[in-house]
Each structure stands twice: as structure tokens, then as C-alpha cells.
Amino acid sequence: MKPVAFQPDVEIRARGHRIGCIGAGMIMAECHLAAYAEAGFPVVSIASRTKERAAEVAKRWNIPKVHETPADLIADPEVEIVDLAYPPDQQPALVRAALEAPHVKAILAQKPLALSLSEAIALRDEAEAAGKILSVNQNMRYDQSMRVLKQIMDAGELGEIVFAQIDMHAIPHWQTFLAGYDRLTLSNMSVHHLDVLRFLFGEPDEITTLTRTDPRTEFAHSDGIVVSTLRFPSGVMALSLEDVWSGPRAEGYADDQHISWRVDGTEGVAKGTIGWPNGKASTLSYASRLSTDGAWVTPEWDTMWFPQAFIGVMEQLQHAVSSGEAPALTIADNVRTVALIEAGYRSIAEGRTVRLSEIPINEDNGGETTP
């Protein structure tokens, strides 16, 4: 078996649909819009909580139109794709407004899609009824190391997967609106890792989650540092660790923030880093008895999770609009990630392992549950 020809970044198949952006914070200004400018995606308008802030971002990224309010942007007939970067308690109302706008063809929502599983299910069903594409920005699936890892696994180079781990010791920038919610790390940080584990290994059978408070986070919270263990039907066991404390941070203290990952298989091992905490490209090395004669191979790339992975997220939506095919990141798939988060919170609350079959995801249609 020869090593596969890796594709760390997506091929852009469509880029002609006009985007209206709602939100002007860090994620929109530094990630979405930087990616869209690089890819040549047409952003025609922007709105945010205040017009002044939206105007600042519009000037920076040469966006021609600034709307007074998000509602005005959604009503603009020039907008074909509504791109949301808004707090999850306010996002569902904007999604629903976009679903009702006849000229809007697709919506890209942020994760978490909503503050509850029931709300996420409702949005899924409303999008289906409206015949509109609703996609969720699970951008870690487009991190270059995760894409190449998936390609290595799909080619069989690691054999049967035995164990996987994502090990985070890094400090997120918690948005101020999170102080008003009763959920923190599992819903807003672990969601990246748990979703990408689903992307790699399919639907888990069960999850066990433990947590403690984070000494650095000043507002009230319960889930600070989080450790989740997942079991999959294939036998894979996976560990997701989010140490958002990551040690003291002060003048003279050497910063060692990092995120590493590892996947062990019967025929090989892949390991690497996620470059987000230090602003570098993610990395990957692997060794396979089948394709590298047991030697370690390290493919390289220059692109990064932030911002280039956001090209992939919008590209899959542009392609879905152009082709009529389902997007790679469907709302139905994201509901399963929300269900996994919900199972994690139940595990914390009840101090036990929770099977995903306990979490209904389609109550209106016979009580379908996650596998």
C-alpha cells in the first residue's frame, strides 16, 4: 500500500452566492471574513448589534453595505446566504427569520446551534419544512490535521482503530455573553472535539463526563475543566480533555499552552497538534506498517485552522446551493452533536455513564434516538 495523496484543504467548487454576515466580533472579523476574502467569496453586507461596530468591520474587509439591524440584513433581497456569528440564545430567532425570507437560500449558523437540544431539533424540523439549507459551522472538521488524519484512516493505513485522544491545555477567550448561561466548556469548547470525534469514528454508544470549576473564570460556572470518555460500536475508546485552566499565567511564567491528539490503530499510529493556541499550522505525523514501513512520515502545509478552515465551511455551503446536494455539515448531523453534548451534561449531573440511546433526537417521529 502506498501513502495517499493528501488534501489538507478543500478544493473550491463554488463561490458565486452572495453572503450577508450577521455579527462583527472576533470570530466574524478574524476568521469568517479573512477566509472569505482569501477564497473570493462575495460578502455583500454586514450587520451587528451596533451599526458602528459593523461599519468598522465593513471598512476593514471592503463590504459594500452596512445594515442598521440583523433583521434589515435578512430582509435584503441581495442576500442569498445568511452567515451568523451571534450568541446562541439569540441565534434561533435569526435563523427563523432567514427561513421565512424567500430570497435566502441557505443559512450558516454557529455552534452551539441553540441552548437546548429541543430547540436544535425544532430548528432542524423547521428548516426541512421550509425547504432551506441550514448548516452549522463545525469548523474543526476542516482543520488540516483532522482532514489528513481522516484520509489516512479511510485509506486503511492505521488498520483497525483502537484508541484516540484529544488533549487540550489552552485558555479560550470566553465571550462575555457566556456569563449569563448555565453551561460553559462542554457546550462551547468540548463541542469542537466531540464533534470531530464523531466525524472520525461515527456515532458513539456512550459518554462519561467529569468536570470541575476553572480558577481563572470569574463568573459562576460548573463545567470548567472537562474530561469526557466515549465508547464507539467499533470498539474505539476516545478521550476528550479540555483543561481551560492550563496553569497560571503571569509575567515571567513560561506559557506552554497546546492541544495535541493521537490515534492508535492495529497497523499504525497518527499523532499531531492543533495550532489554534499559538497561531501556527496544525501538525501531523504518522507511521504505518502497511504504507511507511513503520517509519514516521510528516506531511506539511502552510494553512491553519484559523482562518483557512473557515473556507471549507463556507465552500461546502456554496457548493450545496449551487449543486442542490446536501451540505457536508447538515443540521441533522449537528443535532447528533448537540445530543452528545446533552448526554455529557446528563453524565455530569447524574454521575454516571450515559448511553446515547437515552437522548431522543426525533420525538415527533416515533422517538428515534441516536444509534
- Mean pLDDT lowest for which of 11-20, 149-158, 246-255, 282-291? 246-255
| pLDDT value of residue 362 | 83
3-state secondary structure of 87: coil
Mean pLDDT throughout 316-328?
98
**1/21: higher pLDDT:** 21
pTM above 0.85, yes or no: yes
Own/partner pairs, 92-95, CB within 8 angstroms, 24+ separation: 92/119, 92/122, 92/123, 94/22, 94/70, 95/123, 95/127, 95/134
The Cβ of residue 154 has, within 10 Å, a number of other Cβ atoms equal to 11
**For 21-51, what is each residue's pLDDT tens digit?**
999 999 999 999 999 999 999 999 999 999 9
Question: Would you say 335 and 178 are in contact if contact means Cβ atoms under 8 Å apart?
Answer: no
pLDDT at residue 4 in the model: 65
Per-residue pLDDT for 273 more than 60? Answer: yes
Whether omega for the bond prior to residue 172 falls within 30 degrees of 0, making it cis, is no
58 three-class SS: helix
In the chain, the N- to C-terminal Cα span, in Å, equals 33
Q: Would you say how long the chain is, in residues?
A: 371
Q: By percentage, how much of the chain surpasses pLDDT 90? A: 95
The pLDDT of residue 205 is 98
* Structure confidence by residue, pLDDT tens digits, 3-13: 568 999 999 99
Q: Examine the pLDDT at 112 and tell me if it is beyond 70.
A: yes
Nearest CA among 24, 95, 13, 15 for reference residue 59: 24
pLDDT at 267 over 70: yes
Contact between residue 242 and residue 189 where contact means Cβ atoms under 8 Å apart: yes
pLDDT in tens, 288-314: 999 999 999 999 999 999 999 999 999
Q: Could you tell me the pLDDT band of residue 333, with boundaries at 50, 70 and 90?
A: very high
The upper half-sphere exposure of residue 240, i.e. CA atoms within 13 Å in the direction of its Cβ, equals: 24
The confidence score (pLDDT) of residue 3 equals: 56
Confidence (pLDDT) at 2: 58
Mean of the per-residue pLDDT values of the chain? 95
Helix, strand, or coil here: 290? coil
Per-residue pLDDT averaged across 52-65, rounded? 98
Average pLDDT over residues 55-80: 98
| pLDDT bracket for residue 365 (50, 70, 90) | very low
Cβ–Cβ < 8 Å for 281, 143: no
Taking Cα atoms as reference points, which of 31, 24, 22 lies closest to residue 308? 31
pLDDT, residue 79, reads 99
Sign of the CA dihedral running 288, 293, 295, 299? negative
Amino acid at 301: W
Report the C-alpha gap between 63 and 54 in whole angstroms. 10
Mean pLDDT across the stretch 107-119?
96
| CA distances from residue 27 to 8, 106, 120, 181, 310 in whole angstroms, order as listed | 22, 20, 21, 19, 10
Task: Specify the residue for cell string 453524565.
Answer: 347
Is pLDDT above 60 for 367? no
181-228 pLDDT per residue, tens: 999 999 999 999 999 999 999 999 999 999 999 999 999 999 999 999
Give the confidence band of 366 by pLDDT, cuts at 50, 70, 90. Answer: very low
